[in-house]
Every structure is written in C-alpha cells, then in structure tokens.
Amino acid sequence: MSELVLRVDAIHKSFGRRKVLQGVSFDVAPGTLVGIVGENGAGKSTLLKILAGELRPNRGQVFRRGALGYCPQQVILNDALTVAQHLDYFRAAYGINDLGRADELIEQLHYAQYRKVVVGTLSGGTKQKLNLTLALMHRPDVLLLDEPYQGFDWETYLGFWELTSTLREQGCAVLVISHLFFEQKRFDCLYHLQQGQVTQEAPAHLA
Amino acid sequence: MAGSFSRRLLTATRYALFEQGRNRLALGLLIVFVPFWYYLTLLIAQGTALDFKYWATGELLHVDGGNLTLLTAGLNAITLIVGFMFFASTGKGMQFDRRLVLSGYPQAVLILGKLIALVVVTAVVALYASLVLLAFWHGGHPTSLPLIWLGFWSAAMIYGGLGLLLGVLVTNELAGFFLVIMISLIDTSLQNPLGNPVGNQPVLKELPSFGAMQLEVAGGFTHLVPWEYFGLSLAWFVGFALLGLAIFWRRTHARSVRAAPLAAPAGTASGMASLSITGSGDQALDENIHTC
C-alpha cells in the first residue's frame, strides 16, 4: 500500500439525472502504465478531470502522492503566445528554475524548430506535442493523459510510446485514457469503464 | 526563484500584456478607426455650438460642437475597442488560465497580473486617443490634455472591466461583442448633446462613462479638475472588474488540496494528499479497489 501514488476510492459523479460515474475505484503504483478504455460518453474525461482536480465528485475520494502532470484531451494553449513563452509561463506555474526537461521533450518530440513560433499558427499535431510537454516538463510523479496521441503522425506516435516507457522506468505512474487501445501489450494494467464503473481487464500480453 | 511572488507576477503581467499586443484587429481598429472617427465627426459637427451640462459646477457650458463631439467620438471609440479587447482575451483565455492554476499558478497572482495589464493597456490606449485628438482640435488647444487623457483612461478602464466581466459570463463571442457594442452605444450616445439634444438630464449620472465624459469636458473647456468624477469612474471600474474577477476566480479554481497531507483513512498510504473529497473524510474506503 505504501507504494501507491494514486488511490481512487468509490467516485460518483452525476450531471443532473445522468449518472456518469457510479463507484469507480482503483489504485496506481509508481512506475506503472495504466490504461482506461471506454466507449464515447462512458465518462472517461469526467473521471480524469476529477483526478486532476478540475471537477469535484459527488461522492468518493482521490488520494495522490507527489507532483501531478495533466494532459487534457482538448489542447489547451494560448494562441497568442509562442512555444517558448508557454514553457516560461508553465515554469512559473510549476515553480521550477530550469527548462532542461522541457528542452529534452521538445527534442524527443521533434518540434524544436517551432520554439519561437506563435502557437495559433501551429498544426494540430504540434500543438498536441506542446500540450504534452507542458504536462511533463516538471517531472511529475503521476501523469494523467486523455487521448494523448490524437493528431500525432506515425513517427511521433512511436516516439510517444518510447517516452511513456522511459517515464515508467523512471518511476512515473502514467494513466492513459482512450476510447480505443491498439497497443494493449504496453500496459501493466487495463481497466474498462462502462456503466459508471471500472472492471479490470487482462492486458493482451498477460491474457 | 521561479516560484517567487514577484517573478510569477512579472510573468503573468508580461504575458497578459503580450496577449493584448497580439490582438491585431484591436490594434488596427485603434490606429485607423480612432482618427477616422474623429475626422467624420468633425465633418458633421464642425462650426456648430452646443450646450453641455457640466455637473461639477452645475453650469451649462456653451462650447464648440465640433470639439465636444470629438470628445464623445473618442469616448465611443475607446469604450468599444477596449471592451472588445478584454472580452476577447478573457473568454478565450479562461481554460488556459485554469490549466495554469491547476499546474500551481496562484490564482491571486494571475488575477493581479491581469489587472495590472488592464491598467497599463488602457493608459496607453487613452494616451494615443488623446494625442490624436490634438491633431483634430480646432481653435487653439484644449485647456488640459492630461485631464482629457484621464477621462479617456477612466472610460477605458471601465470598459476593460466590463469586457472582463462579459468574458467570464458570456460564452458566445457574437453575443459578447453585441453586448459591448450596445452598452457602449447607449452609454456614450446619450451623453452627446449633438445626438441627444435633451442630453443634460440627471439620469445620465447613472451611466458608466458619465464621470469620464465630465472629466473630458473639464479638460477640453474648463480649468477645474473634478476629481470626484474620477472617483466615480474608478468605482465603476472596480465594480465591473471585481465582479468579473470574482467569477474568474470561481471558474478557474482548482478543486485540490495541494500541499496539505490529510490524516489518511485506514488502508491509505500515509502522507498522500487528498485531492478531492466529498462526504466525511473518515468514510470507509471501498473494499473492492482494483489494484494491478
């Protein structure tokens, strides 16, 4: 138990009469890659927003240890600022002094040439890369990713999984939410979110 | 230190200013629209004489209609442009600001940065409108250009605050712009004796830019400094801005307890921070928690 970085305990969430989450519970240990899969409208993004602190559940508790990185499904950037200005802004948000990790990520995701470019003029894929960089640049202990590879080309998609596996080796717990997983074998743990609850599924390589 | 108050405030202010500077449409409107409007109003009102009720002394000023209309035109242009600037930036930036707060940016610092940027941007916009006004003023100079600037600045701050308030309240861009236009139109046109011949009624005192207009007229035609009208304008600005920022505070609030580890319920690792809680903190944990 002492190894946990995230504990989700009996989370309930309704919007009006619509019950979206009805007692979601699971644990996440450091250095694990956890996937949550569910149909459209199953409540995946709602769950992630609750884990990130964006939404308050009606009932239930979330416990977390360490720094959080959160990459929302919708790319949330400021179109008027450049890539470098975003990094500087989030450096101040996280209270970190150097951008060493952000620089590594930019190189790894191959978009260093856009550092001084205003975000409003970038392609969707490059915006998504920056979206991910902002979630990772402070070396979080828990990383929450909502459909993180939308808009990535094949090379970046592979780079993303390489990055995820490096993070896992470094002890970061990564929670990925998606409506579809082609790469089930990469996960240590897979959950299926349906009818407001999660059920554990055996990852393909363990099944 | 990256996380220090002053560094974070400087960063928030700098990028709030940057954002306004990148609003090309607003800048274009400011540069082209203001002198063009001055020119048009001068064409219509030059050579006329108008009466204007100057409430600081209670007297009816008999002034050059062209110059007076220049002042109302400046007021109208500034309120529209500044209202548009701050409505656009607040509405678009809300989710981004929320992400910053979720990442640890103190809300108070972010809000203070926005306020400082608003005060600076409106001061510059008012200065530009005042200087351009000089080029169109005829029959000498206004009695006090700094006072005209103060009037324009007051109006700009009020509409900056209004833009901010509408930005957090109205999600539809078109509806927001329409509201800015309608409010500015009613507010400024009613105070123009050219457009509203009975525009000396006490009811005008209830309009947001009433104090600003009185300051401008004081700067254009009198030697008095009616500070009470600057105070009145500040009250409108503070009212709009506080209401807008209070809603902004609520909308960007992170629902997390970041640094305070709770006494964890039985079965929970000690030192885990509670991120979000409803019900009692000591409720029993779900016994069927899935673990890898």
**Is A191 in CB contact (< 8 Å) with chain B?**
yes
pLDDT at A122 over 60: yes
For residue range B45-54, list pLDDT tens digits in order: 777 888 888 8
Question: Residues B15-29, buried b or exposed e (16+ Cβ, 10 A)?
Answer: bbbbbbebbeebeeb
Neighbours of B207 (CB within 10 A): 17
Residues A56 and A85 in one domain: no
Who wins on pLDDT, A85 or A194?
A: A85
Q: Quickly state the pLDDT bin for B148 (edges 50, 70, 90).
A: very high
State the nearest Cα–Cα gap between A154 and chain B, in angstroms: 28
Residue A206 pLDDT exceeds 70: no
Residue A129 and residue A169 in one domain: no
Q: Please name which of B155, B146, B156, B165 lies closest in space to residue B207, comparing C-alpha atoms.
A: B155
Say if residue B18 is in the same domain as residue B78: yes
Establish if A158 belongs to a structural domain: no
CA distances (Å), origin B3, targets A92, B7, B32, B266: 6, 7, 41, 34
Q: How far is B280 from chain A (nearest CA, A)?
A: 9
Contact A168, A191 (CB under 8 A): no
- A145 and A206 in a single domain? The answer is yes
Residue B263 has pLDDT above 80, yes or no: no
- State whether B152 and B275 are in the same domain: no
Residue A85 and residue A61 share a domain: no
Q: Which of A9, A93, A189 sits opposite B105 (nearest CB)?
A: A93
For the segment A189-207, the average pLDDT, to the nearest whole number, is 77
Dihedral (CA of A16, A22, A23, A29) sign:
negative
> B282 with B225, same domain?
no
Q: What is the mean pLDDT of chain A?
A: 88
Q: A201: domain range? A: 1-66+141-150+163-207
- Per DSSP bridges, beta strands A59-64 and A68-71 are unpaired
In a domain, A155, yes or no: no
Q: What is the mean pLDDT of residues A147-153?
A: 79
What band does A161 get if pLDDT is binned at 50, 70 and 90? confident
- What is the DSSP code string of B45-84? HTT-EEEEEETTTTEEEEEEHHHHHHHHHHHHHHHHHHHH
What is the distance in angstroms between the Cα of A187 and the nearest Cα belonging to chain B?
10
Q: State the pLDDT at residue A69.
A: 92
Q: Say yes or no: A129 and A187 in one domain.
A: no
| Nearest by CB: B100 against A56, A60, A89 | A89
Domain that includes residue B38, residue range: 5-252
Q: Assess whether B67 and B212 both reside in one domain.
A: yes
pLDDT at position B292 is: 67
Catalogue the E-assigned strands of chain B. Answer: 49-54, 59-64, 273-277
Q: Does A55 touch chain B (CB under 8 A)?
A: yes
Do B16 and B74 belong to one domain?
Answer: yes
CB spacing of A61 vs B274 below 8 angstroms: yes
In the structure, what pLDDT confidence band is assigned to residue B197 with cuts at 50, 70 and 90? low
- pLDDT at residue B279, rounded to an integer: 37
Give the total number of structural domains in chain B. 2
Region A107-130: mean pLDDT is 93
Q: Are residues A94 and A59 in the same domain?
A: no
| Distance between A168 CA and the closest CA of chain B, angstroms | 14
pLDDT at A140 over 70: yes
Residue A7 lies in a domain: yes
Decide if A116 touches B, using CB distance below 8 A: no
For chain B, give the percent of residues with pLDDT over 90: 55
Shared-domain flag, residues A99 and A113: yes
pLDDT number for residue A200: 83
User: Shortest CA distance to B50 belongs to which of B29, B35, B66, B65?
Assistant: B65
Whether residue B184 is found in the same domain as residue B275: no
Nearest to B155 by CA among B186, B123, B195, B113: B123
Instruction: Name the residue among B102, B264, B290 with its Cβ closest to that of A26.
Output: B290
Residue A157, domain member (yes or no): no
Q: Do A81 and B291 touch (CB under 8 A)?
A: no
Residue B275 and residue A200: Cβ atoms within 8 Å? no
pLDDT at B277: 42
- Nearest-by-Cβ selection for B255 from A29, A56, A191: A56
Q: Does residue B257 register a pLDDT over 80? A: no
Q: B147 and B291: one domain?
A: no
Distance between CA atoms of residues A150 and A178, nearest Å: 10
Looking at the structure, tell me whether residues B200 and B292 fall in a common domain: no
The residue of chain B nearest to residue A136, with distances taken between CA atoms, is: B103
Q: What is the pLDDT of residues A10-41, one digit of tens each?
A: 999 999 889 999 999 999 999 999 999 888 88
Do B211 and B291 belong together in one domain? Answer: no
Helix (H) or strand (E) segment spanning residue B220: helix B210-221
Shortest Cα–Cα distance, B221 to chain A (Å) = 41
Flag if B286 and A9 touch (Cβ within 8 Å): yes
B33 and B177 share a domain? yes
The fraction of chain B above a pLDDT of 70, given in percent, is: 84
Question: Within a domain: residue A71?
Answer: no
User: A52 lies in a domain?
Assistant: yes
Average pLDDT of the residues in B187-198: 77
Q: Do A50 and A102 belong to one domain?
A: no
Residue B79: pLDDT over 90: yes
Is the same domain home to A39 and A80?
Answer: no
Instruction: Determine the pLDDT at residue B91.
Output: 84
Please count the structural domains in chain A.
Answer: 2
Enumerate the residues of chain A whose CB falls inside 8 A of the CB of residue B265. 61
pLDDT band, very low/low/confident/very high, at B281 (cuts 50, 70, 90): very low
State the first-to-last Cα distance of chain A, in angstroms, to the nearest integer: 25
pLDDT at B264: 40
Structural domain includes residue A83: yes
Q: Do B276 and A61 touch (CB under 8 A)?
A: yes
A70/B contact by beta carbon, under 8 A: yes
Chain A 123-182, residues with CB within 8 Å of chain B CB atoms: 134, 138
Query: Are B30 and B171 members of one domain?
Result: yes
| A156 within domain boundaries | no
Instruction: State whether A28 and A54 are in the same domain.
Output: yes
CB contact under 8 A, B7 and A77: no
pLDDT at B198: 63
Enumerate the residues of chain A whose CB falls inside 8 A of the CB of residue B282: none
Q: Give CA angle at A79 (A75, A83), nearest 5°.
A: 80
Are residue A203 and residue A145 in the same domain, yes or no?
yes
Interface predicted TM-score (ipTM) of this complex, two decimals? 0.87
Q: Which of B92, B88, B76 is nearest to B183 (CA)?
A: B76
